[in-house]
Copies of this chain bind each other. A is one copy, B any other.
């Protein structure tokens, strides 16, 4: 068993396991043992690699944010025209890897964790700033001074549609959710014109 170079594999599978467990249990009240067992290792090993439960959860948060960032980058890379950037960002937010219930549940819980852990708060703030900035880049040429307000609205709408996937029974499916956000954008632009 003990091969060399196990660390990255273990870290990765523990992070995955943490996200899945948070998704399964529905809260951050998961034990290190549960996470470790799902990853197929002992809880001692989890501590060996991460130092503490908090670090495991923080790494999981970082991973989730990375997944999201990857999706955004992928969608933006495919864009040819500047005015399609906004659509790309919206699509990224509803793309499948980020939109699984476990991931959404984890995300929801990390909103909570950010109220306790400064480091989690810092990471989420980075995400928030980046999203806002991305939206503004797309909105400013079209709306001028009205851009910030629409950006705030769009960000809130995306957030709301996102977490309602797991908090509101009968929430719209991903495609519909995406369409609602796109419609918000279209309507806001039309209203401003």
A125, A164, A177 — which one has the most chain B CB atoms within 10 A of its CB?
A164
Chain A interface, >50% SS class: helix
Is A180's CB under 8 angstroms from B159's CB? Answer: no
A158, A168, A176, A186 — which one has the most chain B CB atoms within 10 A of its CB?
A168
Cβ 8 A contact of A190, one of B157, B184, B190: B190
Stoichiometry (number of copies): 4
Residue A45 interfacial (CB < 8 Å): no
Residue of B with least CB distance to A188: B187
Is B149's CB under 8 angstroms from A176's CB? Answer: yes
Residue A3 interfacial (CB < 8 Å): no
Cβ 8 A contact of A187, one of B28, B160, B187: B187
Residue A172 interfacial (CB < 8 Å): yes
